[in-house]
Amino acid sequence: MDDLMQDSLSHFGHRYETRGAVTEASPAFKLEEEMDRPALLLRPADSNDAAFILETWLDGHARQNRGQSTITLYKMHRPIVENLLGESFTYVACNHQMTDQIYGYLCGRRYTFDIMGKQKSLLIMHWGHVKSAFRGFGIAGTLANRVYGYKRGQKVLFTHQGRIMKHLKKGHNLEYAPRCQTPEGISAYLDHYVAERIKHFGGHRGRKSNRATSGRKGSQTSTPTSARTPGSVGET
């Protein structure tokens, strides 16, 4: 990890897509101190954070793959991590007075797309880390909620197994999708996901439409009959 410090701001994404959530152009914002959590400042990661983020990400990934050589994992996986940092969006939770004192961070991206004329989105989270001294304060969950617009029950993909993702998975609709560690994998998954959603919603719309049409036909048929019946009775 001797050359980590050469990493610059270019490793942090500028194409974060979402509605109603913080973007890299948004200012940092402070969360007031609560009884069970220190006061936090949530801000975009910058070049000063690059070494810490890369090292903790690669180290955490190596811990999840103890059967492989750490050196080999670092060498093979670092380009993947750097690309994800460039394609995604990383936010840091830090001390609100000393902003270089990082408590934790989360890297992810929300993708938006159109399904049957309605805008939908899917959040993909790649990696999260919280320093051991600050675990248990809900920092990772706060980042997911306040930065990425996550709400309980939403489907979320995560691309790396790690302590934070395993913790967030409890009680949440998280799906492990390692194929989405690469742009090609993300594109393929989203294409399939959108096609399945269109098929699902299109099928429901088709069945609803058929039921509605059937109901209208029935009412049109019965109305003339009932109209004629009183006439026949009157004539009789």
Distance CA(187)–CA(165), nearest Å, equals 22
What predicted TM-score, i.e. pTM, was given to this entire model? Answer: 0.72
| Predicted pLDDT of residue 169 | 72
Does the domain at 4-108+126-152+159-173 match CATH 3.40.630? Answer given as yes
* Amino acid code (one letter) for 147: V
* Six token digits for residue 163: 């302590």
Q: How far is 138 from 226, CA to CA, in rounded Å?
A: 66
Cα 169 from Cα 218, distance rounded (Å): 49
Which amino acid, 98? M
What 8-state DSSP symbol labels residue 36? T
Residue-level pLDDT at 64? 85
Q: What is the pLDDT of residue 105?
A: 96
Q: What angle do CA 123, 21, 183 make, to 5 degrees?
A: 35
pLDDT, averaged in runs of 10, over the chain (236 residues): 37 37 48 63 92 94 82 88 94 91 94 88 94 90 90 91 80 90 95 89 51 39 29 30
- Give the domain ranges of the chain: 4-108+126-152+159-173
Determine the pLDDT at residue 204: 53
